[in-house]
Every structure is written in structure tokens, then in C-alpha cells.
Amino acid sequence: MTTFMTRDGTEIYFKDWGQGQPVIFVHGWPLDADMWEYQMTFLAAKGYRAIAYDRRGFGRSSQPWEGYDYDTFADDLEELLQKLEIQHAVLVGFSMGGGEVARYIARHGTRRLAKAVLISAVTPLFIKTADHPEGVDKSVFDGIKAGLAADRPQFLSDFSTVFYGTNRPDSKVSAGILTQTLNIALLASIKGTLDCVTAFSETDFRQDMPAFSLPTLVIHGDDDQVVPFAATGKLAAAAIPSAILKVYPGAPHALCFTHKDRLNQDLLAFIQQD
């Protein structure tokens, strides 16, 4: 496997396909780099260098006890980009990974980046607070953690219903995709899986958003039952200077699969845009 060691001794797995301008993919919870296989194969075949990695505690990366916070995630990403000597990259984050994109830009700047993409992202703030009433109530995240602690495999299997929107009458998600998703999710550390619920729900990225001083594309489904558009993507696009917002009608959270052809074309067009 292709891995590198972080400053605190955590081994991070990554895949690096193709040649050309780099496109860096940051996965969602509780998945790993494999969630991007349709986007990576598409862009690598179009002449781009597609890179994705498994967040610490997930997939084929090692499973430390600590470090499941966005400052650490952003620093891990910077170490990867240093190792690969990345410049002029497009940084793409899905769901929880959108927070990593935001914190990376705020913490490490844009010197290695050309553009950014947020897909179904948790930015700028996921949880409901007094000054963010559109957010999701804390009880929902407490319920997720309780379900994981009680029976992680069954909880994650059930979670696919809202993740892919299979409770909608026009859903066309195969049993194979649901099996693959569960298999990927179960590779993760239960400690990392639990700690990341706190991280992605409670981390406030509102102060990070003005740091997006580069072209940014925000993509979100308006039927996202996991990360509601009105509480996240809509506000993120409004907070980022000159952001381009694309709303996919009827799309669920996991549009990297359910709407992969449209997403691939939108990513390619944005990357190629002057």
C-alpha cells in the first residue's frame, strides 16, 4: 500500500492515479478514499492526477486513539500535500470532508491550491445553536452516537437509507452499493467513528469561510436528509466570496454515486473553467 507517516506517527493511506493537474479528494463519514472511485477514474482518464486518502482512523490508515479534530485533519492533509509536492490543486471535500477543506484553507492557506469544491458539506455549521437555528438538533447526533455504541454494524446499515435516499420512491441504489458502503464503513475505528460525529457536528467553520479566496464550487442536493441544504450548503455558498452554487433537485446526500454522471461533468467543467 502507498502510505506516509504523519508527525505523530499515524500512517495515512492514499491512492494517486494519473498525471496532470492534481485533484485532491477528501472523503465523508464513515467512509474512505474508495467512495471517490467514479470521480477518480473519470478525471484520471481526462488527463488529471486524482488523489484520495483515508482519514486517520478510517479505511486502510492506522487507528490512533486521539487526533479526531479538524485542526489535526487539516495538518494531516498538509503533510500529504507536502510529501507529494502538490501545487495548483483542486481540493474537493464531501460531507465531513468539506469541513476539512474549510479548515485546511483557513489554517494552511491557498498557496498549493487553485480551486475548491464543497459537496454535500457540513460547512459552515451543522448543529443547531442559538445563532444558527437552521441547524440540526443536538439530540440527533446524540442518537447517532448511541446507535453506534449499541450496534455499530446495524446502525451503519440502517443509515444508508437516508444517506442514499432509498426511502424515496424513485431511488435506484443497488444492493451491491449498499453492501460496499457498509464494508467500507466497518473498516473504520469505532473510536474514530464516534469522535468524528462530535467533530463534524459541533465544529464551527463560520470564521473559516472568508479564507476561501479562490474559485469555489458548492454542490448540494435539495433532498439531502443527512446534511440539510438550508442549514449548510446554502449558507456556505453565501459566505464564500464569488462561490458558484449548484443545487441538484431531488438529490440525496450521497450524490457522488446517485448523481455521479452529472457530478463528474460539473467537476470537469469547473476544473477547466478559466
Cα radius of gyration rounded to whole Å, the chain: 17
Give me 174's grid cell: 443497488
C-alpha distances in angstroms, 87 versus 49, 53, 84, 121?
A: 12, 17, 9, 24
Has 157 been annotated as catalytic? no
CA distances from 73 to 35, 108, 132, 143 (A): 18, 12, 24, 24
Among candidate residues 209, 6, 183, the one with its CA nearest the CA of residue 98: 209
Given 95, 120, 189, 201, which residue is catalytic?
Answer: 95
CA dihedral 97, 174, 265, 102 (to 10 degrees): -10
55, containing H or E segment: none
Instruction: List the strands of the sheet with 89-94, edge to edge.
Output: 3-5, 11-17, 49-53, 22-26, 89-94, 113-119, 216-221, 244-248
| 95 carries an active-site annotation | yes
Extract the C-alpha cell encoding 95. Answer: 460531507
CA 199, 201, 57: angle at the middle one, nearest 5? Answer: 35
Does a cis peptide bond (omega within 30 degrees of 0) precede residue 249? no
Beta-carbon-side half-sphere exposure of residue 156 (alpha carbons within 13 Å): 23
Active site residue: 32, 34, 208, 224, which one?
Answer: 224
Contact (Cβ atoms closer than 8 angstroms) between residue 166 and residue 173: yes
75 grid coordinates: 495538518
* Maximum Cα–Cα distance across the chain: 50
- Which residues are known catalytic residues? 95, 224, 253
